[in-house]
Amino acid sequence: MKLSSKGPGTVAATAPAANAEGDTLTALATLTQLEQRARACTSEDALAFLMVNETHGLAPYRQALLWQGDADADGRIVALSGLAVPDPRAPFNTWMAQQLARHARAPGGRAPGALHPADGDAAMWHEHLPAHAWWLPLPLMPANQAQSALAGVLLLRDTPWSRRETALLALLADAYAHAWRGLRQARGPRTRAAGLGGWPRARQRRWAIAAGVLLLAGLLLPVRQSVLAPAEVVARAPEAVRAPLQGVVDRIQVQPNQSVKAGQLLATLDARDVQGKLEAARQTLALAEAEWRRGQQQALYDQDSKSQLGLLQGKRNQAAADVDYYAQALARTELRAERDGIALFDDPADWTGKPVALGERIMLVADPLDAELEVQLPVADAIALPPQARARLFLNTAPASPIAATVQRVGYRASAMADGTLAYRVRARFDTPPQAGTLRVGLKGTAKLYGERTLLVVYLLRRPLATLRIWLGL
């Protein structure tokens, strides 16, 4: 600051000029820095973020947004100050895109200047936006090109814009447009006739049509329906070893998967109750025989005793039948195998001491080489299976070696599974007879059932269509 010899008044007059000069230098330095940062951006997203957020250092504002034009529509809001990724379909962004598209198409829309809302939108504008808005167009191509080559930044604040600020902002907008054009050219000629960073619109339409045709052709391809379901190797015709009478299991004489022979003892029931009844029946038989013999002797000389002889003989025969019944029941407390095979049950400890009802199954005896496949097909995944449908079993122990099978029958009614869901029981025979040691009864895995051929679109939409029918009640 230079002092004048004319008195202290000169010093006061020189100070504002010095401050204004300093502010101008600071603004020019900020302008230069923003231009350098804009040209150093390596992506259009980074440049858009710089436009709406860092321009505040040159001219303070409350809100800023970046709009990109579209030749056939109102364009879209690319960036908003304070937001990382704006939603172009939000009501506010759609309304602002309409306002900026109307202003950009109007005469003078390609020049910087104040932006005022239309008469019908003034109330909404003053409710949500500051009063003073400054429009900075960003021409991405010459003026005779399509509307889609135009973009712009809108700055909004509560105080009027000064002439110095608008002049600096015009210079900065030119730098922003130049940096934007450089990024578009760096991406190649495919961006010249497209929106920001996009393919040419004609090529986009061709690719979209080609992709749609390929997708439609793919959806119409015939495919074979298939479904996956849990499966287990089971015996084809096992012998069920059932409790011949009501009682308590005393002991299991074999181990799970043990080979047994016909007539071998498998399990025994507690026979103490039957033995007690047998002894009581024998005592009753002895008493009945004694009474019957005495009646025979008295009948020789007593006519009344002779008439009672038939009743005494009936009591004797009934007592003899009771003895025979309990003797057979005692023999039935020993459960023996009726055929050769292996004993199929879980754990002997689970049965020892367990009360069983008449006819309750205790174990199975099955031929280990006479096995088939049982599949639990859930109701939700059920498909139409043709006669002799194909199936493949992927064992949990050997998932890489599928075993082929042929479906023999499908249950007509769904039954409850262990997890509470409903499933159809499907039985299939293995195409190759199982060899010893390869397929053991009880092995589990996943079966793939093959149904009839249908279109790919029907196969993919089968479950959604079924759910939709349930919701619509069709």
At 200, the pLDDT band (50, 70, 90 cuts) reads: low
Stronger pLDDT, 311 or 157, i.e. the higher one: 157
What is the C-alpha end-to-end distance of the chain, expressed in Å?
Answer: 90
- Burial (Cβ within 10 Å: 0-12, 13-18, ≥19) of residue 160: exposed
| Model pLDDT, residue 1 | 35
Average confidence (pLDDT) over 166-183 = 88
| Model pLDDT, residue 407 | 92
> Which of 175-189, 258-272, 351-365, 385-399 shows the lowest per-residue confidence on average (mean pLDDT)?
175-189
pLDDT at 446 over 70: yes
Stronger pLDDT, 259 or 5, i.e. the higher one: 259
Inter-axis angle of helices 8-40 and 163-186, to 10 degrees? 20
| Model pLDDT, residue 88 | 79
Mean pLDDT of the chain: 82
Put the strands of the sheet holding 334-336 in their side by side order: 334-336, 265-269, 247-252, 355-356
User: Over the stretch 97-108, which tens digit does the pLDDT of each residue have?
Assistant: 888 888 888 887
Average confidence (pLDDT) over 11-33 = 69
Q: pTM value? A: 0.46
Tokens of 246: 């009501």
| Model pLDDT, residue 187 | 67
Stronger pLDDT, 337 or 309, i.e. the higher one: 337
pLDDT at 188 over 70: no
| Model pLDDT, residue 419 | 80
| Model pLDDT, residue 467 | 77
